[in-house]
Amino acid sequence: MQLADLQSNGAVVVGRDLDRGITASLATLDVTLSLDGKAVNSVDKGASWDAIVKDIAWLAGHAEARGLPLKAGQVIITGARALLKLDGATRVEGVLGDWGRVSCGV
């Protein structure tokens, strides 16, 4: 799969939709990443919902103008909050404040 960030992303985990109420909290949402149960990176700032929607609208127009319109079912990666290298870890977990968690074994 070709990724929007020119394939420099190590992985993308896609799961169930979160409650849409999260959109109001995105700019200040606490995000913590853990490797094998140990928290290794935490951030509390990011793009607001309005900024994300504005950027996706730009992307849609840009892609259409290049003859590559966005299609239903495509996943758009709007940016990463907390980055880390696996460094041999076999379990990765992300906690999105009180909104939920996502985890993956490698």
- Please name every residue paired with 102 in a beta bridge, in sequence order, or none if there are none: 94
pLDDT tens string 3-50: 455 556 666 777 777 788 888 999 999 999 999 999 999 999 999 999
| pTM value > 0.75 | no
C-beta separation of 79 from 22 below 8 A? no
Q: Please report the pLDDT score of residue 3 as a whole number.
A: 47
Q: For residue 86, give Cα distances in angstroms to 3, 10, 41, 89, 104.
A: 19, 9, 12, 5, 12
